[in-house]
Chain A
Amino acid sequence: MYFGSYLLALATVAAVLSAVGYFFVAREQKAYALAAKWFYYLMTLLVWAAIGYLVYLFLNDRFEYSYVSGYSSSDLYTNYKITSLWAGQEGSFLLWAGLGVLLGLWVKAKAKEQPGWVMFFYMIGQLFLFTLMNISSPFALNPVTPVDGRGLNPLLQNFWMQIHPPIIFLGYASTFVLFAFAMAALAAKRYDSWVKYAFPWAIFSVCALGAGIFLGGYWAYETLGWGGYWSWDPVENASLVPWMGSIALVHGMLIERSRGAFKKTNLFLAITAFLMVIYGTFLTRSGVLADFSVHSFIDLGMNIYLVLFLIGFTLLSYGLLVIRGKSIKSNESDKSPLSREFSVYLGMLFIILSAFLVLMGMSSPLLTRIVGDPSAVDISFYVKTNLPIGIILGLILGMSALVAWKPLIMKDFLRRLPVPIAISIIIAVIANFQGVDNFSHLIFIFTGVFALTANLTRYVVNIKSKGIFFFGSDLIHTGFAMMLLGVVISSGYSSHAKTTLEQGIPQDIQGFKITFTGVERLSENREEVHLNIESGSDTYHANPLFIWSQQGLVRNPYIKKFIFYDLYISPEELKERALSDSDRTVTLTRGQIAQIEGCEMKFIEFDAGSHMEGSALSIGAVVEVKLPDGDTLKIEPRYKISGDNRVELEPAFIQGLNKNAFLLKLNADEGMVLLGITDKANPDGFSPKNALIVEVTRKPFINLVWLGLVLIILGSGFSAYRRIKEIKN
């Protein structure tokens, strides 16, 4: 046990005491409130002291700690030494707990009703993190202190990777808040007011999880070089499922706030979003998927705790929901199919369904283990099941923009229908001519464009009367539809070409003339590849990167963005090429004779003076050549350095052999020359050549993904602005 471990152990004791205190507060024993509060503060302080101490260890290169030596090295930049804190499993649990206790301070201040229950259930959630944090502690020591650390994987030395984990853990931590409010409502049998307090947190969850997912995806696209931003890996799905759950919850809460409906559904969704975070943690951290996921951690001895917590939380929360179920009275929601409420209901249904199918896919090794050989599903599973849902969601999204919150007359609805439908049909037909031949993709494009145009139209039409901030939700829906379109088109219709580029020889790839011009060594472990890309009269320069590290080879792609597509250049391997058979070199010292190309060559002397041109330096090598037929001749290839330090090699033609001789290198002190004999009129053949194995991918309409994202962010900002203004008025 060392200082850091003591901090964690004490923090855990304080957390337990605080939880017990809040339990008594919840049971109307108000005397415990003060103690519970102060134990909470003490816990917060201790957790952050532990985080601070770990940062201190990183900054001071304390490699006796295996977490520090595993993720840092003495030559690492200071800012990366700090972010190495969350580079691995142990530190990321600590960070997660740290963010959790901070959010708790805010929850404590805002929970006006049943604060005891809210904080009790919040602490129950925190104890999960505290348990894991103690079991896989970042303060474990190395048996032998290494001289230097292993260093941080170069891929993590990236801006997006520095901020992605804290944001995703903030998202995870926020689902604990939703759980606490929902459970408190159930425990205290007060089902009507919790949504008021939990609603901002649900929005917070959607934003944090969404931002974390997008940052991770953007990082993958920009730096990983496999050309994608999403690979349906369990670690990715573990954040996707709670995100979809919180999206459904926000929509359900909107209806509950306006009509008092969906009370049970919302309680269920708030609890489930939290349980999905716990389940995702179990799947990815317990080692049960170790054989199926590249990201999964091996079991660090916390498997049993993860299972116990998962079962405990599930029984406690769903059990309480079932027991209380009969006493929860909801209002009826509007069931007219032409109401916005009805489309919100359908939208929620399909989002939950999609989340459920993703959950099924990521759990497949466990599900199939029950019936036989454990099997993981192929990525096609996610596409097969989610494409039809995407199609239907597009339709629902479009419809939701065409119907108002109150029931409207059929005539009104029919009047709004033709324009979006017509645009969607036109775009789908154009897509078909452009090569989209898959029927379900065409249908998807149709409904996606329908959703996009219907929402965008509603937004634009209402700007005049309501201003740009009022219908932020329409902008979010527009962006969402746009993003889905971008995802399907860019992944379904990207074209790959893998080829070997010989240095200096252009090749036509993906409609571009691409030339591999050379390699530049930037540092000991970084090599930059230079490529020229020509298209008509335009020339671009691309420089993908190879980085070698203890963690393996990293290939940084180069992405050339165009309006309608990205050209994604992923370097795979460099190969050194030997000289061709017709290019021969020979090293000679003064007076030495060598056999080459069937003749005898003898280096006589240097000739420095006779060819002086201006200020340029020019040295010749006088070589005596005895041809195979016995004739002897003298040649004098020259090595020139001009005023601006350019080297020019002047060949000497060997009559009777039909070859050129070049003076490639010389050493005047030792009287040594390097001669090159070739058929060619230039010495290019003698500079060492490389070949680059490269994958060039054309990704159509990927900008729709990022543009959609911008609209979502913009729409969210507008909505937030509108709500804040409403509260102030």
Chain B
Amino acid sequence: MTSSDPDVALMLRVRHGDNDAFRELIERHQRAVINTIHRAIGDAWEAEDLAQRVFVQVHRSAKRYKATAKFTTWLFTITRNTILNEYRRRSRHPSESLDALQEPSDPEGAGWQAADTSARDPAQEAVERELQEKVMEAVRELPEAQRTAIILCRYEGLSYEEIGKVLGCTVSATKSLLHRARLTLKEKLRGYY
């Protein structure tokens, strides 16, 4: 990786305390991070809160960041660890969600939006919403490693190698995870395709 990679160039600026560069970095990746978390835990507000935590961790680790791997691989590794920490926290305190722990840090931040809900046939929209919910549910029910592999492959377009780095496994193990996840989804979504 070289500084010709825009993310690496931004991280080098962040390392020197450039908050404008950090804002740009957030804006480039916020959607990917929020949606990765949202697909894993299913709650939009919590997804935003955890995504903010991910970016804060990125900022605090900027000095230790080495441009030896692709920035997104590093970012998704932090994202995955944040999700895993959230699972652990939930298993220790099953009745608590982040909503119960603290109020939104900024009242103006209320209200996330589903992507692209421009004027369409309401019936069609309802069918699509149902399908989307079914898909999200099926993905969420996958074992953690399979789910992460599917999300990173299908929605974020990461290569097998990059997914393997995020999950800490080999390329062949990644392929195997994806295959098993697809077979499970094929069963769970029967009737929707």
Partners in one complex: no
**Interface of B toward A, CB cutoff 8 Å:** none
**Interface of A toward B, CB cutoff 8 Å:** none
